[in-house]
Amino acid sequence: MENFSFKNPTDIRFGKDRIDSELRDVITSFGGNVLLVYGGQSVKRSGLYDRVLKALDGLNITELPGIEPNPKIDSVRKGQQLVKDNNIDVILAVGGGSVIDASKVIGSARYYEGDPWDLVLDSGKRMALKQLPLVDILTLSATGSEMNRGSVISNPETHQKFGTGGPNTPAVSFLDPSLTFTVPTRQTAAGSMDIMSHLIEQYFDRSINNDVSKGLIEGLMRSVIKWAPVAIKEPDNYDARANLMWNATMALNGIVGLGDVNNWTVHPMEHELSAYYDITHGVGLGILTPRWLKAVQKDSSTHELLARFAKNVWGITVSDENEAGSEAIKQTYDWISSLGFEMTLPEVGIKDETNFDAMAESAVTTGDLSRNGYIKLTPDDVKAIYRDSM
Ligand code: NZQ
Ligand code: ZN
């Protein structure tokens, strides 16, 4: 196992209805000037917006609505202006990963005089800045943003979608599974696929004998495989929503990837799809993941781990490692497909190869895939995976 350091101070408040009694104290511990950030209409339709305003009655609330899925840099620019103009003490993000991601970068942009896109391009700049405290109320189980330092921001003008890390995780995250009862089927599926992908990206890693991480991940994978279909069938099944929510947080709060050595692969390839075509992150991952696993299997040094994945995650008992790997890839594909979303690029509107060269080059550069992927991928290899997805 490799050396690692780990510190994650996010205060997690998991469970039903805690915002009504706890949100006010949490927010006022940081001050009375609050930037309330949210997305489209879902928080108003569900009644959550009214509950939040009631809990914060009497405080100075400035609102930043309209954070879009795959949050755009223009929203961060608006937020930067608002936090400066209103002397904001704390940001309250109410929504999914997009709202939380944008809020983190706004928290850094408070202390930056230039264009916040500079901060996305260079996380080093963010690490040198202070960041406003962030409290969030999570409404969708997917990204793990509620307990990590990452954000992913898009710039439609340049067709770029990049991850950026800041100095802090959210200060406090309210995780109330019942707030996800209203998440539509497609987003529940996409969020579950995102969780599964975070786990796969960290599992397929060349670290030696990192059995703690592998074992934790196998348990989390079995749980998302079990509960995602239940949440899709019964949207207000609390146990399903609770398991998915805590799974999403655990999959990407840093713990299960400790001691890993490789970069992620499918995420950089997917971020190119959403940068060029603005598709849903989890749907892109669902299309690419089984194709990437097929590419992985071509390298025989991966067969032992694929066979372990087959046995411990999918319960496949055939003794031939290569056969077990093939069966696991098939079962992974079938599970993704059973969640009900599109399984090819043309079905999500990517009908030709026009941008594949640029996308493949960028994915390899951003993810350092030709040097540090689990299997090393050149731009031609990435293009082959995009083509296999047509
Ligand atoms: O905008 P509203 O009306 O709120 O609707 C949202 C949005 O349309 C809806 N929604 C959220 N909660 C709901 C709900 N609808 C009904 N009821 C609720 N309770 O869901 C839609 C998608 O929301 P979004 O926040 O975009 O989804 P998600 O949480 O999947 O976030 C995706 C973004 O996170 C990035 C992705 O690339 C993408 O930009 N990621 C962030 C990561 C991180 N910070 O660590 C890692 C991930 O790998 C990922 O890249
Ligand atoms: Zn993801």
The encoded tokens of residue 55 equal 């809990």
Per-residue confidence (pLDDT) for residue 164, from 0 to 100: 95
* Residues with a CB atom less than 6 Å from ligand 1: 39-43, 46, 69-70, 95-99, 101, 139-140, 142-145, 148, 150-152, 179-180, 182-183, 187, 191, 194, 252, 267, 281
* Rounded to 5°, angle at Cα 193 from 39 and 327: 170
Per-residue confidence (pLDDT) for residue 172, from 0 to 100: 98
Q: From 180, 199, 228, give the residue that closes a domain.
A: 180
DSSP character string of 259-292: T--SPPSHHHHHHHHHHHH---HHHHHHHHHHHH
Mean pLDDT of 73-102: 98
Same domain, residue pair 170 and 247 = no
Same domain, residue pair 333 and 214 = yes
Which pLDDT band, with edges at 50, 70 and 90, does 190 fall under?
very high
Per-residue confidence (pLDDT) for residue 260, from 0 to 100: 95
Same domain, residue pair 356 and 230 = yes
For residues 163 and 135, give the distance between their C-alpha atoms in angstroms, rounded to a whole number: 20
Mean pLDDT of 264-291: 96
Which pLDDT band, with edges at 50, 70 and 90, does 92 fall under?
very high
| C-alpha 23 – ligand 1 centre gap (Å) | 22
Q: Could you tell me if residue 4 is inside a domain?
A: no
Same domain, residue pair 314 and 224 = yes
Q: Which of 201, 270, 281 has the most ligand 1 atoms within 8 A of CB, as the residue to mutate?
A: 281
CB proximity list for 41: less than 8 A, separation 6 or greater = none
Least confident of 158-162, 183-187, 307-311, 376-380: 158-162
Which pLDDT band, with edges at 50, 70 and 90, does 262 fall under?
very high
> Does residue 114 surpass a pLDDT of 90?
yes
Neighbours of ion ligand 2 (CB under 5 A): 194
Q: Could you tell me if residue 1 is inside a domain?
A: no
Q: Could you tell me if residue 3 is inside a domain?
A: no
Three-state SS string over 140-189 comes to CCCCCHHHCCEEEEEECCCCEEEEEECCCCCCEEEECHHHHCCCCHHHHH
Same domain, residue pair 104 and 208 = no
Same domain, residue pair 218 and 144 = no
For residue 95, how far is the Cα from the chain centroid? 13
**Separation in Å, CA 39 to CA 13, 67, 79, 215:** 22, 4, 13, 36
Mean pLDDT of 360-380: 97
Contacts 24+ apart (CB under 8 A), 220-224: 220/195, 220/247, 220/250, 220/251, 220/256, 221/196, 221/313, 222/313, 223/247, 224/192, 224/195, 224/196, 224/199, 224/251
Mean pLDDT of 235-264: 97
Number of domains in the chain: 2
What residues make up the domain containing 138?
11-180
Q: Could you tell me if residue 33 is inside a domain?
A: yes
| Straight-line distance from the first to the last Cα atom of the chain, in angstroms, rounded to the nearest whole number | 39
Give me the percent of the chain exceeding a pLDDT of 90: 98
What is the pLDDT of the chain when averaged over all its residues?
A: 97
Which pLDDT band, with edges at 50, 70 and 90, does 111 fall under?
very high
Same domain, residue pair 170 and 189 = no
Q: Could you tell me if residue 212 is inside a domain?
A: yes
The closest ligand to the CA of 101 turns out to be: 1
Q: What is the CATH number of the domain that holds 36?
A: 3.40.50.1970
> Does residue 1 surpass a pLDDT of 90?
no
**Helices (DSSP H) in 86-161: which residue ranges?**
97-109, 117-121, 123-127
SS3 341: coil
Same domain, residue pair 198 and 340 = yes
Q: From 119, 149, 180, give the residue that closes a domain.
A: 180
Same domain, residue pair 153 and 231 = no
pTM of the model: 0.97
| C-alpha 281 – ligand 1 centre gap (Å) | 9
Q: Whose CA is nearest to atom 42 of ligand 1?
A: 143
Q: Could you tell me if residue 268 is inside a domain?
A: yes
Of the candidates 263, 284, 260, 6, the one whose C-alpha atom is nearest the C-alpha of residue 148 is 6
Q: From 129, 160, 180, give the residue that closes a domain.
A: 180
| C-alpha 324 – ligand 1 centre gap (Å) | 34
Same domain, residue pair 174 and 232 = no
Same domain, residue pair 209 and 347 = yes
Q: Could you tell me if residue 5 is inside a domain?
A: no
Cβ neighbours around 81 below 10 Å, total: 12
> Does residue 271 surpass a pLDDT of 90?
yes
Q: pLDDT tens digit string along 332-364? A: 999 999 999 899 999 999 999 999 999 999 999
The encoded tokens of residue 124 equal 């080093």
The closest ligand to the CA of 271 turns out to be: 1
